[in-house]
Structure 1
Amino acid sequence: MTPKRVLVAYGTKHGATAGIAEQIGTSLREDGLDAVVLPADDVDDVRDYDAVVLGGALYAGHWSRKAKRCAERNADSLKHRPVYLFSSGPLDSSAEQQDVPPVPAVAQQMERLGAREHATFGGSVTAQTPGLMARVLVRSGKAGDFRNPERIQSWAHHISAELATLP
């Protein structure tokens, strides 16, 4: 039997969300799934995949435009397969301390697509992150890498386990 094909797509500006998507893809592959990780801009058709994990960075409380457009472009096909959404962005440990609910735009996408669940992971802004806002955050001491690899991997393994129970 061929393994289930899972697309992990992500919308990011500076790469932190791509890192989360790569970790998810690696964990899904460890569980025997055929996981492909792609930028959301590169996803025009999801019909070749049995399930989709779509993530986007949060900027000032808004989900990545790239992730949102990917969801809208593929909405008809996404409605007919298991979909999991994630967000990355809090620049603190809040995503570790509690379940951070999806921002309104993500909650709306969840409903439109019939997504099974959503997870929010900490974001990352460091001295290497380009842009004025990143420099301001670094100078003010509010920068850092708040992504938790163990939590990301655990969520991905949870997805694998759930997909294993589906026909």
Structure 2
Amino acid sequence: MPKNVLVAYGTTNGATAEIAESVAAVLRKEGLTAEALAAGSVGSTEPYDAVVVGGGLYAGRWHRDARRFVRRNGEDLAHRPLWLFSSGPLDASASERDIEPVPWVRKAVVRLDARDHVTFGGCLREGAKGWVARMILRNGKGGDFRDFGHIEAWAAGIARELTRD
């Protein structure tokens, strides 16, 4: 039975969207139906059998659109398989060790009985929106710290769980 998976994301500059697209691509490759959508554009989670939600980290907080999506759909998310991811550290730390979720996300993991949470490295490129982002770039702290091998392996684990259920 094919499962329909939503990969919703909150992003400001597009890096978290690229992670979400990669997750959805792996799920499709593994025989699932999956689509990546901006969290703010999702009307309902009703059509989906499982959900993955990702949010970029900004000043220690998950992206506002991801938080709003989880709040708006919390009751429904608690009754279907759910995975969460964060994207943010602008260094190699996410590739070197597991990084605990920020407090709001940690509470959501527990409250909604999410199957897993992972923090992936972030990406901040020239031309990024926002004063803080421009200051980070001006201080030479930008770059792409995403590990797509890790992202794809994590997504393949989700696919294995969903096809086993």
Task: Tell me the SS of whatever aligns to 2:159.
Answer: helix
Counterpart for residue 158 of structure 2:
159
Other-structure match for 2:50: 51
Q: Which residue of 2 aligns with 1:68?
A: 67
Report the Cα distance in structure 2 between the residues aligned to 1:71 and 1:134, rounded to whole angstroms: 25
**8 A contact 1:44–1:74 mirrored in 2:** no
- Using the alignment, how far apart are the partners of 1:14 and 1:155 within structure 2? 23
1:14 is matched with which residue?
Answer: 13
Asked whether the 8 Å contact 2:12–2:129 carries over to 1, the reply is no
Letter of the 1:142 counterpart: K
Amino acid in structure 1 at the alignment position of 2:154: W
Q: Give the unaligned 5+ runs of structure 1.
A: none
Question: Which residue number corresponds to residue 143 of structure 2?
Answer: 144
TM-score by length of 1: 0.96
Write out per-residue CA displacement over residues 78-127 of structure 1, whole angstroms, 9 at most, x where no aligned residue.
Answer: 11100000000000000000000111000011112111110100111111
Aligned residues: 165
Residue in 1 aligned with 2:102?
103
Question: Once the 2 structures are TM-superposed, how far is the Cα of residue 134 of structure 1 from its aligned partner?
Answer: 2.2
Q: Does 1:27 pair with 2:26?
A: yes
Distance 1:126 1:45 in 2: 32
Superposition deviation, residue 139 in structure 1: 2.0
Letter in 2 for 1:136: M
Cα distance per residue 1:1-28 (max 9 Å; x no partner): 4x10000000111111001000001111
- Deviation, structure 1 residue 76: 1.1
Please state if 1:77 is matched with 2:76: yes
Instruction: Work out the percentage of aligned pairs sharing the same amino acid.
Output: 52
SS of structure 1 residue aligned to 2:106: helix
- In structure 1, the residue matched to 2:112 is 113
- For the aligned residues, what is the CA RMSD? 0.9
User: Matches of 2:38 and 2:71 in 1, distance apart?
Assistant: 15
Q: CA deviation at 1:132?
A: 2.3
In the alignment, the residues of structure 2 paired with residue 83 and residue 136 of structure 1 have an alpha-carbon distance, to the nearest angstrom, of 35
Q: What SS class does the counterpart of residue 119 from structure 2 fall into?
A: strand
CA contact (8 A) 1:44 1:73 kept: no
